[in-house]
């Protein structure tokens, strides 16, 4: 595992993540409610500034590098197998490769109706008809009792994987709380994957993603919603990484 801004990132590549996740959804593996986050610069900057959120990410089974800047830093530090584990791509590969397997999914997130639209979309796009439930959380924070009731619904559905799309850091906090009462293999936070795969939001072309320009594309598409975040997060991500790179190492006393 490789650290970026002191957060340990999964560095074995997207294909390895997909293979391991599918493998561990088999009946021979215990349902341990493992939390996975696809985390971009926004999440890493938040963790760097908020110790509570960093501790939450540290408790996750994996924190996957959702953005190319994290991958480039990881490769520079020697993680040669590290690739981008982009939330929408991870979602697509898992949904595609679980067709015909006894692996079921529960969608949790998005605005009213988005999770239901996503269930239809994955059936049409990926041929996956194994979505056993959907839920749209309220904008406010849910009470423990409400989360327990949601967990009971998920547990009755028999879902192996709960997909959560609420945006960072809300989705990671939601996943961690929900995992206290679920009986599933994985809870995976995938950011805007719900909006992308229902075609509510246009994804950046592949060449822009490879060049780490997806943030620019999304800024052009949604300037009002994302402008403030990107102009705040991108400089902080660069500055915090420079601080870490030039931080004096602690001397070891004999």
Report the domain count for the chain.
1
250 occurs within a structural domain:
no
253 occurs within a structural domain:
no
Percentage above 90 pLDDT, the chain? 69
Q: What CA–CA distance (Å, rounded) separates 132 from 52?
A: 33
pLDDT tens digits along 45-77: 999 999 999 999 999 999 999 988 899 899 988
203 pLDDT more than 90 = no
Q: Could you tell me the pLDDT band of residue 242, with boundaries at 50, 70 and 90?
A: confident
Range of the domain at 89: 2-245
**pTM for the structure as a whole:** 0.89
Q: What CA–CA distance (Å, rounded) separates 72 from 65?
A: 10
As a dihedral over the C-alpha atoms of residue 97, residue 99, residue 103, residue 109, rounded to 10 degrees, the angle is 80
Cα atoms in the Cβ-side hemisphere of radius 13 Å centred on 23: 6
252 occurs within a structural domain:
no
Interacting residues of 190 by C-beta distance below 8 A, sequence separation 6+: 38, 87, 88, 90, 91, 163, 164, 165
pLDDT in the model for residue 252: 37
Distances (CA, A) of 169 to 20, 42, 109, 110, 137: 25, 9, 13, 14, 15
């Amino acid at each position: 595992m490789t650290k970026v801004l002191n957060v340990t990132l999964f560095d074995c590549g997207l294909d390895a993540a997909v293979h391991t996740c599918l493998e561990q959804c088999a009946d021979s593996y215990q349902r341990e409610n493992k939390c996975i986050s696809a985390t971009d610069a926004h999440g890493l900057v938040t963790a760097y500034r908020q110790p509570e959120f960093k501790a939450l990410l540290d408790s996750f089974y994996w924190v996957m590098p959702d953005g190319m800047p994290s991958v480039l830093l990881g490769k520079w530090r020697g993680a040669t197998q590290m690739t981008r584990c982009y939330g929408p791509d991870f979602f697509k590969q898992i949904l595609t490769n679980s067709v015909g397997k006894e692996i079921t999914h529960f969608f949790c997130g998005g605005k009213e109706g988005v999770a239901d639209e996503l269930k239809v979309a994955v059936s049409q796009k990926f041929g996956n008809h194994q979505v056993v439930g959907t839920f749209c959380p309220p904008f406010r924070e849910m009470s423990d009792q409400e989360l327990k009731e949601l967990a009971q619904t998920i547990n009755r559905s028999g879902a192996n994987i709960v997909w959560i799309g609420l945006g960072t850091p809300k989705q990671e906090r939601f996943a961690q709380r929900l995992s206290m009462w679920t009986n599933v293999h994985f809870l995976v936070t995938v950011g805007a994957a719900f909006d992308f795969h229902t075609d509510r939001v246009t994804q950046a072309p592949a060449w822009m993603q490879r060049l780490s320009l997806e943030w620019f594309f999304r800024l052009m598409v949604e300037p009002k919603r994302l402008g403030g975040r990107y102009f705040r997060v991108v400089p902080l991500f660069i500055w915090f990484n420079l601080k870490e790179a030039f931080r004096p190492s602690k001397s070891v006393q004999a």
